[in-house]
Chain A
Amino acid sequence: MNQQNMIEAAGLAKRYGETQALDHIDLEVPAGTILGVLGPNGAGKTTGVRILTTLTTPDEGRGWVAGHDVVREAAAVRAKIGVTGQDATLDEALTGRQNLVMVGQLCRLRRSAARSRAAELLGLFELDDAADRVVRGYSGGMRRRLDLAASLVMRPPVLFLDEPTTGLDPNSRQRMWGVIRGLVAEGVTLWLTTQYLDEADALADRIAVIDHGRVIAQGTPRELKAATGSQLLEVTLVSPHAGAAAAVAAFALGHVSVSDDGRRLRGVVRSESGLATAVLRALDQAGVLVDDIAIHQPSLDDVFATLTGADTAAESMAIVEGVLA
C-alpha cells in the first residue's frame, strides 16, 4: 500500500446471501484528510466501515489502516482506530462516565488514567451534567456525543464515523460538525459515511459516491459537481425575440424552454470554459438584446440523483431542471 494513505481499500467485496453488499471497491484516504462516503441506505457504506474496522472479514480484496492489514493484523488496526457506529455502541445500563472508564481500561489505561480521561472527554463534549446518569435516559444527540467520546479515549489517529448525524436535530448536527472539524484540524484521518450531501460537501476533502456496493464516482466536491458535465443556462432577454431560442438551442443538450412572456430561456448545457461569452456572441449575432445571463453549477443533490438514480441524459436533465425550477 501507499505510505501516504492512512486508509486504503483494494478490491473489497462482501456478499450477504443474495446481496452483494460491497462489489470490489477501491478507495484511498491520505493522512489527515476526510473521505466522505456518500450513498443511499443499503448502498454498502456500513459494510465498508465494518470491514475496515475489523468487525467483518471481506470475501475478497484487502484493506489497510495505518499500514496494517485489517484481516491479518486486526489487533494492530484496533490500536489505531476509533469507531462510532450508526447505532450507538454504548452500554445502556452504565452511566456515561462508567462507559468511558470501561473503554479506557479495556484500552489498557490504569484505572486512574481512565477516570481522568473520561472526566476530560465528558467536559469537552458537554456531558458533565449527565455524566453519572444511566445512558438509557440520554437523548439521541447526547448518545452520539458520548459514542464519539468513547471512540476518542485513546486519541486514535484514524476515525471511522458511520452516519454520525443521522437522526439528529439541526443544533446537535451543527455541534457534531464542529467536533469533526476540530478533530481533523488535529490531524486525524477520517472516514465519514453519510446520506447527507450537504454534510459531505461541508466536511469532506474528497467524496466517494457509492451505490449497490460500487464506487460510482469520486473526487473533490467541486470535481463531482463538474463531472456531471451539465449546467443550467438561464438567459433573460430585453424583449421577446424569435431567433433567441434557436441561438441558445445550439448549446443545449435538450429542449430549451421559453417562459410565457417570451423573455426567459432555460436549458441544460454541457459545461465548458468560455460558455457564457459564446452564448452571448451567438445571441448578439442573432440580433438579440440580453439583460441577464446565468450559468448555475448543479448542486451535489443533482450530482447525487444523477449518479445514483437516473442513468440516461434525459433523466438527469429532467432532475436538474426539476431541482432548480
Chain B
Amino acid sequence: MSVTTALPAHVAPRPFDRLRSWWSDVWVMTRRNVIHIRREPMQLSDVTIQPVLFTLLFIYVFGSAMVLAGGGSYKAFALAGLLVMNLTTSTVGTAVGLSTDLATGVIDRLRTLPMSPTSILVGRTISDLLAAALCSSIVALTGLAVGWRPTTNVAEVAAGFGVALLFSYALTWMNACLGMVVSGAESAQGIVFIVIFPLAFVSNVFVPTQGMPSWLQVIANWNPVSAAASACRVLFGNPNPSGAIQAWPMQHPVEATVIWSLALLAVAVPLAGRLYRKRTLD
C-alpha cells in the first residue's frame, strides 16, 4: 500500500477571521454531539419521555387534590412549572456529556488540533440548548393535549419560552462546571440529586409557596427557579399566586429571571473555561 505517493499536496486552510473560525469549530462540535444523540436516542429520554410523563403525572395525580388559592385550574398553573422543572433537570445532561468526553481519548485528539479549545464547551452547551428547545415543545404539546391554554398573545408566549430557555442555558453552564469538577459520568449523574432536585423542588414549581414554613418561603421565593416559573406564568397569562408575594423576584419575575440567568452566565462561563484548562492540562 502506498500511503505516501498518493498523498496530495498540502491543502492550505482557508483564511478565516478568528470569529468565523471559532464559530465553525463550535458548529462542528455541536453537530458531533447531535450525531451522538441520534446514535443513542435514549440519551434524549430526559427531554422527550420524561417531560410527557411528568406533565401527565403532576397534572392528573397531584392536580386531582390541588386547590389553588385565588382560583384557577391546577393544569393552567402547573404547566409553566413543569416546563421550568423539566428544563432544569435536563441540564444535568451537560455535566454527564462533558464528563464522559473528558474521560475518553477523543478529548486528546481534539486538543492536538489547531481548533479553538473553547468550542468544545460552547458546542456542548449549544447542542444541549437544542435539546432544551425540544423539551420545551414536548412539554407545550403535552400541555395543549390535556387542555392547558396560554391566554396572552403569540409574542408573549414566545417570550415566555425564550425566558425559560435563557434560564436553562445559564444552568447548562453551571452544569458544565459541575461536570468538570466530578470524576466521571456516574458522579455527574449524582448532581441531579445533590444540586438539581433541591433547586427544582424548593420553589413554586408545583405548589404556591404561601403554604410553606416561613423560612422555606424565603428560600423558595428567592430561588431563581421560582422566578423562572412565575415569569412563564405571567407571560403565558396563567394563574400566578406568587404575584401576591412581596419579595422582589416575585413582583418582577421576568426581570429577576433575566438577571439571575445573566449573573449565572457571568460567573459560570469564565469558570468553565478555567476548569477546562485546569482539567485538561496534566
Contact = CB atoms under 8 A, between A and B. Distances in A.
Interface of A: 16, 53-57, 75, 78-79, 81-83, 85, 87-94, 98, 102-103, 105-110, 113, 117, 120, 124-126, 134, 150, 152, 154-155, 175, 178-179, 182-183, 185-186
Given A87-B105, A89-B108, A124-B6, A113 B11 contact: yes
B11 to A, nearest CB: 6
A222 B14 CA distance: 46
A185 B10 CA distance: 16
6 contacts: A16-B282, A57-B281, A75-B114, A81-B112, A105-B28, A106-B110
Given A57-B281, A179-B1, A106 B113 contact: yes
Interface in B15-59: 16, 21, 24-25, 28, 32, 35-36, 39-40
B13 A107 contact: yes
Contact of A185 (B4, B39, B113, B114): B4
Given A108-B114, A120-B6, A154-B11, 7 more contacts: A55-B111, A85-B109, A89-B109, A91-B32, A106-B115, A109-B11, A110-B14
Interface string B238-282: 000000000000000000000000000000000000000000111
Contacts of A57: 281-282
A265 to B, nearest CB: 49
A168 B281 CA distance: 29
B108 A108 contact: no
B3 interface: yes
Contacts of A185: 4
Query: Quick one: which of A108, A117, A185 has the most chain B CB within 10 A?
Result: A108
Contacts of B14: 108-110
B106 interface: yes
Q: What band does the interface of chain B fall in when counting residues whose beta carbon is under 8 Å from A?
A: 35 or more
A93 B112 CA distance: 20
A153 to B, nearest CB: 9
Contact of B114 (A83, A98, A107): A107
B28 A106 contact: yes
Contacts of B6: 120, 124
Nearest to B40: A93
B11 A117 contact: yes
A93 B106 CA distance: 11
Contacts of B3: 124-125, 179, 182-183
A142 to B, nearest CB: 14
Interface centre among B108, B110, B111, B112 (most CB of A within 10 A): B112
Given A89-B105, A106-B28, A94 B35 contact: yes
Given A107-B13, A178-B1, A186-B4, A150 B109 contact: yes
Nearest to A92: B104
A102 to B, nearest CB: 6
Contact of B105 (A54, A88, A93, A175): A88
A216 B100 CA distance: 38
Nearest to A16: B282
A90 B11 contact: no
Contacts of A150: 109
A90 B4 CA distance: 23
Contacts of B4: 182-183, 185-186
Nearest to A54: B112
Interface in B104-163: 104-115
A150 B16 CA distance: 22
B35 to A, nearest CB: 6
Contacts of B36: 93-94
A107 B4 CA distance: 20
Contacts of B11: 109, 113, 117, 154-155
Contacts of B211: none
Contacts of B1: 124-126, 175, 178-179, 182
A56 B282 contact: yes
Contact of A93 (B2, B10, B35): B35
B194 interface: no
B133 to A, nearest CB: 22
B70 interface: no
